[in-house]
Amino acid sequence: MQKPQDSVILRKIPTQPRSIAMVAALVEATARVLRTEGAEAVSTNRIAAVAGVSVGSLYQYFPGRDALIYAVLERQERAQLVLMSEALQPPLDGPLRDLVRRVVGTLIRFHRDDPKLTRVLLEQRRRLIALKPLPELEQAFGAIIVAALQARADALREMPLEIAAFIIQRTVDALAFETVVRRSELLEDPRFEDEIVELILRYVGATPQG
């Protein structure tokens, strides 16, 4: 019996350079169609044609359109995690405000650089994540933020770090997503970044010297 999550799981993992390149081309073709035509335009036939791959080859790896869109979503979230990791590389000394600004700026630029794709994926995310969550990415995001909070604990109020990390991550994500959808021009306004930084600093109870 097929499970709901089977619709977004690869039928098999590519292991050879040729198959890896083909799957990557299919994911990139899906991102291109999502960005330029929207989710309704994604079909296995359309993506195969854009990628220059036969539909039969596509079906060796992807069971359908949801799996293609999910692959783009996962790719974007992993890319965001890499950028967050780079922004929070130890040592985490220096002014706390600069550290927070680095994180906020990284996330805003990530969404600003590809707002059309972000908008479409936001519309699809809740449905797809309900089919197959990405707990390892959620945990990795949380661990990065917890490490940053622990490194600067002397400048912050006492708080449950795992909960605080979740709140910070979701607050910035939600603001960035909503801005892409409703007020995309704010992504170019430095005051928008300033206000998110201030929001987080006040939430964590940063001391003036922090």
List pLDDT tens digits, range 121-136: 988 998 999 999 998 9
Choose between 146 and 177: higher pLDDT.
Answer: 146
**Residue with token string 């854009």:** 50
Mean pLDDT of the chain: 90
Query: Residue 208 above 60 pLDDT?
Result: no
Rounded to the nearest 5 degrees, what angle is found at the Cα of 147, between the Cα atoms of 135 and 99?
110
Mean pLDDT of 25-36: 98
Residue whose tokens read 């680095």: 102
Residue corresponding to tokens 């989710």: 39
How high is the pLDDT of residue 2? 64
- Is the CB of residue 9 less than 8 Å from the CB of residue 67? yes
pLDDT score at 112? 85
Higher pLDDT, 52 or 6: 52
Query: Which phi-psi region, left, alpha or beta, contains residue 52 (left: φ > 0; alpha: ψ -120 to 50)?
Result: left
The CA distances from residue 173 to 12, 38, 176, in Å, are: 31, 21, 5
pLDDT tens profile 169-200? 888 888 888 888 889 899 889 999 999 999 99
Domain boundaries, given as residue ranges, for the chain: 4-203
Residue 37 tokens read as 């035509």
Residue/partner pairs of 143-146 with CB below 8 Å, 24 or more apart: 144/81, 144/84, 144/85, 144/88, 145/88, 145/169
pLDDT of residue 207: 62
pLDDT tens across 109-124, in order?
888 888 899 999 988 9
For range 16-44, the mean pLDDT: 97
Q: What is the pLDDT of residues 54-113, one digit of tens each?
A: 999 999 999 999 999 999 999 999 999 999 888 888 777 778 888 888 888 888 888 888
According to the model, what pLDDT value does residue 1 have? 62
Where are the alpha helices (H) located in 88-152, listed in sequence order?
A: 96-113, 115-131, 135-151
Q: What is the dihedral of CA 62, 65, 67, 68, to 10 degrees?
A: 80
Question: How large is the average pLDDT for residues 6-14?
Answer: 93
Sequence letter at residue 28? E
CATH of 4-203, one of 3.40.50.1820, 1.10.357.10, 1.10.1660.10, 3.90.550.10: 1.10.357.10
Name the H helices within the chain: 17-37, 44-51, 55-61, 65-87, 96-113, 115-131, 135-151, 161-182, 190-203
Tell which wins on pLDDT, 44 or 171.
44
Instruction: Note the pTM of the prediction, 2 decimals.
Output: 0.89
pLDDT at 131: 92
